[in-house]
Amino acid sequence: MPATTTTAVTAAENRQSILIVVASVFLLSVSDALIKATSAETSMWQLYVIRSLLAIGMLAALLMYRRDTTQQWLLSPLWVGTRSLLLALMWVAFYSALPFISLTIAALAIYTTPLFIALFSAITLNEHVTPRKWLAILVGFVGVVVTLGPSQGDFNLWTLLPILAAIFYALAAVVTKGKCANEAPMHLALALNIVLLLMGVVGSIVVAQTGPHLPSNEGLRFLIGGWSPMTFGDWGVMVLLAVLMVLVSTGIARAYQIGETSVIGAFDYTYLIFAIAWGALLFNEVLNGRTAAGLALILISGFILLKKPTAAL
């Protein structure tokens, strides 16, 4: 990706983007908790198709309502498509891990993201990452490593999938800032859901042609199982997931358009607080000493980032 000159970001824009991203990752944590809770009853591909169809309908209606105030066409279809594919791959990797590891561990693993964002931003966007920001990001990264140490009992190869998801997410964040900054956020959200829909259709066809797959393991059923009958309650969950998808995809797109990617990436860490809370409330996941120490380091990284820089930095 060629280097792109970065427009200076004001403090007000950073504050606005921080508020948007914190609200968005809270809603994302709600969505992820719902998906983990219902993963035994549905397949990932069924989720992608139904949720994306509902989200596309909602976004199309919103775009029609705002047609006089929103640009009508994509400015860079190729880069929007690239961003959408990266985010779709991110969700495939992350959701694939959810049935096999705790939500807390999955959340901590994916939050190697800010380190990758800072690295990719420095390389491709010429974005200046100060020593203070590097310190904050590295402290947060150490917190993740502490939590995911190989000696932890529930560490397994599935834990590597959220880290792969983190790389895809970081690349998508850089593309959003460097190549899609002037796109309408709802256009970006619509493109993402179209790619997710196509991915869900392809996955469903592959499963149908090679199946039926009915493994006794609920996690594997989520990945390779066929479509399941849906009750009225299931449809209610799907509608809620679609609403959350619309809000999260537009919110995160807007945050990365207007704010500094490395700063937003650090505030993405607030997802951890929400995910750990849902893990405890819904899945009886215990915040043990190691996890607590890792979380403390991650929170410290946020305070370092917020601290007013000295002249030396």
Domain ranges of the chain: 11-306
Q: Which two tokens stand for residue 40?
A: 């035994």
- Could you tell me which residues come within 8 angstroms of residue 223 by beta carbon, excluding any fewer than 6 positions away? 43, 44, 96, 99
The per-residue pLDDT for 281 is 87
The per-residue pLDDT for 4 is 40
Q: How many residues does the chain have?
A: 313
Reference 75, options 219, 195, 203, 183; nearest CA is 183
Reference 107, options 305, 263, 285, 255; nearest CA is 285
Query: What is the torsional sign of CA 11, 275, 170, 309?
Result: positive
Per residue of the chain (313 residues), give pLDDT as tens. 333 434 567 778 888 888 998 999 999 999 999 998 888 778 899 999 999 999 999 999 988 887 765 566 778 889 999 999 999 999 999 988 888 888 888 887 787 777 787 777 777 766 677 787 788 778 877 877 777 665 555 456 787 898 899 899 889 988 887 888 788 888 888 999 999 999 999 999 988 888 666 666 767 778 888 888 888 989 999 999 999 999 998 888 888 778 877 677 667 777 878 888 898 888 888 777 777 887 788 778 766 765 544 433 3
Reference 104, options 268, 263, 283; nearest CA is 283
> Omega of the bond prior to 215 within 30 degrees of 0, cis?
no
Q: Measured between alpha carbons, how far is 232 from 239 in angstroms, rounded to an integer?
A: 11
DSSP string of the chain, one letter each residue: ----PPPPPPHHHHHHHHHHHHHHHHHHHHHHHHHHHHTTTS-HHHHHHHHHHHHHHHHHHHHHHTTTTS-SS-S-HHHHHHHHHHHHHHHHHHHHHTTTS-HHHHHHHHTTHHHHHHHHHHHHS-----HHHHHHHHHHHHHHHHHT-TTSTT--GGGHHHHHHHHHHHHHHHHHHHHSTTS-HHHHHHHHHHHHHHHHHHHHHHHHHH-----SSHHHHHHH-------HHHHHHHHHHHHHHHHHHHHHHHHHHHS-HHHHHHHTTHHHHHHHHHHHHHH-----HHHHHHHHHHHHHHHHHHSPPPTT-
The per-residue pLDDT for 279 is 87
